[in-house]
Copies of this chain bind each other. A is one copy, B any other.
Amino acid sequence: MQDFVPQDENFERRVKESFSKQKMMHTIGAVLSKVQPGRVEISLAFRDDLTQQHGFLHAGVVGTLADTACGYAAFSLMAPDAAVLTVEYKINLLSPAVGESLLAVGMAIKPGRTLTVCSADVFASREGENKLIATMMATMMSIRGREGFTG
């Protein structure tokens, strides 16, 4: 992990406020568990209503957590007046998402003025063991001065 210096000393508060406005996170029970400059963790307890046909957590849920962790890892390094949007993400699902909980760790790889490239690893915790179950590469965009886009 690289050492990043945030542009905004209140980055943690900004990330938390924005995350709390994501109703989707509340709906699926995702929790923002750690915020550092360029690094964000999001966790989720297994819930039966988020599964696919084999009883695993849905690939879309795994993608949602990883995308959000990437977005806030990027956002934590952006200017105080910037908003963040996902340009694209790519995820490889390595193992079925089974276990008691998931942890998505998003990290900035290359922050830029307009675009920030991020990666995320998603781990499943099962009977005390953590297993890497998915890995993402994503491009995030900083939006400034556009109406309706804050946070």
CA distance A30 to B59 in the complex (A): 15
CA distance A95 to B55 in the complex (A): 32
User: Which B residue's beta carbon lies closest to that of A51?
Assistant: B23
Looking at the complex, which one of B28, B48, B117, B149 makes contact with A94 (CB distance below 8 Å)? B117
The majority secondary structure among interface residues of chain A is mixed
User: Which B residue's beta carbon lies closest to that of A27?
Assistant: B49
Q: Are A110 and B89 neighbours in the complex by a CB distance under 8 Å?
A: no
Binding site for B on A (CB under 8 A): 18-19, 21-24, 26-28, 48-55, 58-61, 63-65, 67-68, 71, 83, 85-96, 109-110, 114-115, 117, 119, 132, 135, 137, 139, 141, 148-151
The 8 closest A-B pairs by CB, nearest first: A60-B64, A90-B90, A24-B58, A21-B53, A94-B110, A88-B92, A59-B86, A27-B49
